[in-house]
Amino acid sequence: MLTQSSSSWDGAPYKAYPEGGPELSVLKISLPANSALPWHSHPIPNAAYVLKGEITIELEGGRSQVFKQGEVFPEVVDTRHRGKTGPQPTELLIFYAGSEGIPLQH
C-alpha cells in the first residue's frame, strides 16, 4: 500500500462525503519545470502520486511541503493551495474520490 489516510498532508481530517452516487476520477498531469499552478481548492478528497520530478504544495497563508518522485500525498480539501514545480518537469497521477456531478476543483 502506498498510502492510507483519513486526513490531508497538513493534518486536516476528511469530512463525510456529499450525498449522491460515488464517482472515481484519475488524472495524469504533466507540469513544466519551474512553474506554478493557479490557486485553487478541491471539494472532495484526492491523493497524488509523484511519477517524476517534485512539487511543492503551498497553502494560502504560507505553509508548504515538498513531495518528490515516488511519494504519495493526500491533498487538502476546501483549502486554497497551489503546486510549484522544481527544476525538472513533474508528472502526477491523481486519484479523486467524489460523487456524481461534483467538480474536481474550484
Number of neighbouring beta carbons within 10 Å of residue 33: 11
22-99 to CATH, choices 2.60.120.10, 3.40.50.280, 3.40.50.970, 3.30.390.10 = 2.60.120.10
- Model's pTM, two decimal places? 0.93
Nearby residues of 52 by Cβ (< 8 Å), 6 or more positions away:
69, 88, 89, 90, 91
Nearby residues of 83 by Cβ (< 8 Å), 6 or more positions away:
31, 36, 37, 55, 56, 57, 58
Q: How far apart are CA 71 and CA 36, in angstroms?
A: 19
Residue-wise pLDDT for 7-44, tens only, equals 999 999 999 877 888 999 999 999 999 999 999 999 99
pLDDT score at 33: 98
Dihedral of alpha carbons 97, 102, 104, 106, sign:
negative
pLDDT score at 18: 75
Q: How far apart are CA 54 and CA 84, in angstroms?
A: 9
Residue-wise pLDDT for 38-77, tens only, equals 999 999 999 999 999 999 999 998 899 999 999 999 999 9
pLDDT score at 20: 85
Residue-wise pLDDT for 72-98, tens only, equals 999 999 999 999 999 999 999 999 999
CA 24 to chain centre: 14
For the chain, the domains span 22-99
Question: What letter represents residue 35's amino acid?
Answer: S
